[in-house]
Structure formats: C-alpha cells, structure tokens
Amino acid sequence: MLSTSFTFESFEEINIQQCALKQFNPSLIIFYAAPAFFKNESRSTKRFSEIIDNLSQITANIVGCSTAGEINSDQVSNDTIVMIAMKFEYGSSVKIHTSTLTNMQNSFDTGAKLGQHIEPVGLKGIYTLAPGLAINGSALIHGLAHSLSCDVKISGGLAGDNASFEKTYIISPQGIHEDTVVAVCFYGDNLSFGYGASGGWRSFGPSRSVTKAKENVLYELDNAPALAIYKEYLGEYAADLPANGLLFPLEVIGEDQKGTGLIRTILGINEEDGSLILAGDVKEMQYVRLMHASTDNLIDGAQLAVSNALTAPSSQQTLSVALVTSCVGRKLVMGDRVEEELECVQELLPPNTCIAGFYSYGEICPFNNQSDSKLYNQTMSMTLIQEATS
C-alpha cells in the first residue's frame, strides 16, 4: 500500500496537485478540513464540492470531515486542509456506505441502517466519520456493530468545528452534508489493522452516583441536578460552558468504583432541566468523577495508544498508514505543546508510516486490538493500516 499526504491552505493548492494525484491513482482519499472551508455555503462549500467532483474522476472513494485541527505527520495546523491518499497494491479495496442522521434520538437506528448495507464477506475493518453535534456517538457505534462480526472493528471520529459547537460537516461520495454518517469498509486478505486509544486525564474529587440518565443525557447526580453539581465544581470556569466542558470531562466509573476507561465530554447544557448533554452514553447506577489533565499526562496517553495499536501482527517492512483522531479538549489543554503528542507517535510507529488525522468531538476505536469498538472522549485514538505483500 502506497500513501501520500498534503497540507493545503487554499482550494487552488488542491487544484495544482490534481495531475500528480491522477498519476498516483489512489484507491481512497480522505480530507480533514477546517470549518472555514465549508462556511458561506454559497461560495466555500460550492467550491469544495466542485473540487471533490473533479477528484471523483480519479477515484470515487472520497470522504472527509470538518475538524477542530488538522494533523499531518507530526504537525498540527488550523485553517488548512489535510488530504491523505492511499493506493492499494495487492488486491485490497474499499466500499463506501452512507446514512442520514435525522436527530440525536435516531443515532442507533442510523448506525443499524448503515450496517445493513455492508457486505460482511472479506470485511477487515471500518473507518467511519460522523457529525459532531446532535448525535449520540455510543448509540451510533452500537447500531453499526449490531449486524457485524465481533472480529470487525470500527474506528474513526466525530467531526469538529474548532470548539464553536455550531455546525460540523461530512464529506462523502454524495457531497458535503451536516447530517451524513459515512463508513469506509476495507476488504482484502492482505490488509491488517492495529488499534489503540488512551487518554491520560486524571480524576479528582469524589465519585457521584448517576441517579437519572437517559442515553447521553445526564439529569441527576446523587439525586441532584447534574448541571448544578458540575457548575459547583467548575466555579468561575462555569461561566464559559459548554466550551469549558472540554477541559473538565467526566470519567465513567463502574459499580465497583473502578474506572471503565471511558471519558465523557460535555457537549451541551440544558438550564431548564439542569441536565448535561454528553458525547456518549452514561447509565444509571454507574458513577462519574471529574477529570483534568496536564500536558505530560496527555503525552503519556498518546504513547499508550500507539503501543496498543502496535500489538497487532504486522511486518515492519510493510508501509503503514496511521489515521489519528485526537480530542479537541486535549488540544486546548496542551496549547503550544500540542505537537509533542504527535512527535512521540511518530517516534514509536514503524519507519515510513504516513500519519494523518484530525482533532475531533469524539474518538471511535477499540482500546486495544482485543477490545470492542467504543466512543471515547478526551482520548487519542490510532488506526494503523498495513497491506502485506503476500
């Protein structure tokens, strides 16, 4: 498998590369683009759509999303477009399926509908991109996995918009839309996948019992309004909710008071009923606890994510692609040191690995190669793809 990646600052730069892309003849193109390239729908989105239409003459397999930051190699950029092009050499292929998310309550059904269209024979892995707002990411993944073999893992992420929480966008062969979920299905006996996810956040304060919740809406903690308790902990930071929810996520704790490995970001608040809207499910009888992080802790988490992905059988001689999804909350905490987590990723991966990805509103991945796929928050996740020569 061959791959190449670019960082563009304008649509014109993409046009300049079209001849080279045609010669490369990619099997799949993925775009990770800043929200500015989608806004002003009468101009920017139209121009982006025209470029995608032109590139579809090279390959019909084009997907992507808006971001909260773009990743190329060990560099993080803003207000750019990162494109990765992959070319299979040994009989592997991809098929792309889409489904429309009508509202958050239909997240499971949207995933299930998507899964029903996927051909299971020869399926090796699924990379999915979904809207970052008005979605229950956990339910989406459960629905998608419902009709799949447990051996097939799902990875990817939820689109972002630079922590504005206004609009996110998905690119699929059907165009650019706010409500599309896209699944890239990989087929081929020579393909292998490695997965890893880890956070690096630290808990603080007492654990609180989830006494009322429905899917990804948390109503009560210890029989009191969840929003009131959350604001009490945040103090002066509460004035900037929901944006500051990225800095203080919730750790999900089991009945045994042990961490489950799941972190939940606050995507929105409801002042009327005192609830917190989370990026993924929480369940009654679970416990949650507030979290915070330092840059060093987050870098440790990134290293663990890579280590988990590398436990999959692979050939060090085989060219690799690493699709990275990291949470916007990590980016905000790390500030000017954000590229350090990518530098450690690059150091640990096999030589000649092509790295690309984005900062997201939710990370989809197994914790390691033996785990089920889940929706994470405040996590770095890694999908390592290799195509063997025989």
44, HSE (Cβ side, Cα atoms, 13 Å): 14
Q: What is the pLDDT of residues 85-100, one digit of tens each?
A: 999 999 999 999 999 9
Q: CA triplet 231, 233, 238: central angle to 5 degrees?
A: 35
User: Please, which contacts does 311-315 make with residues 24 or more away whose CB atoms are closer than 8 Å?
Assistant: 311/194, 311/368, 311/369, 312/192, 312/193, 312/194, 312/195, 312/369, 312/384, 313/192, 314/192, 314/194, 314/350, 314/384, 314/386, 315/386, 315/388, 315/389
Where do the domains of the chain lie? 2-198+296-387, 202-292
What is the C-alpha separation between 153 and 5, in angstroms, rounded? 24
Structure tokens at 140: 């989406």
Confidence tier at 84 by pLDDT (50, 70, 90):
very high
Confidence tier at 279 by pLDDT (50, 70, 90):
confident
What is the C-alpha separation between 75 and 353, in angstroms, rounded? 14
267 pLDDT exceeds 60?
Answer: yes
What is the C-alpha separation between 175 and 56, in angstroms, rounded? 11
Q: What is the pLDDT of residues 142-190, one digit of tens each?
A: 999 998 988 999 999 999 999 888 999 999 999 999 999 999 999 999 9
Is 258 exposed, middle or buried, given 0-12, 13-18 or 19+ CB atoms closer than 10 A?
Answer: exposed
Structure tokens at 159: 């689109």
243 pLDDT exceeds 90?
Answer: no
**Mean of pLDDT values over 325-335:** 91
Beta carbons within 8 Å of 253's beta carbon, 6+ residues apart: 207, 259, 260, 286, 287, 288, 289
Whole-structure pTM value: 0.89
Q: What is the reported pLDDT for 204?
A: 84
210 pLDDT exceeds 90?
Answer: yes
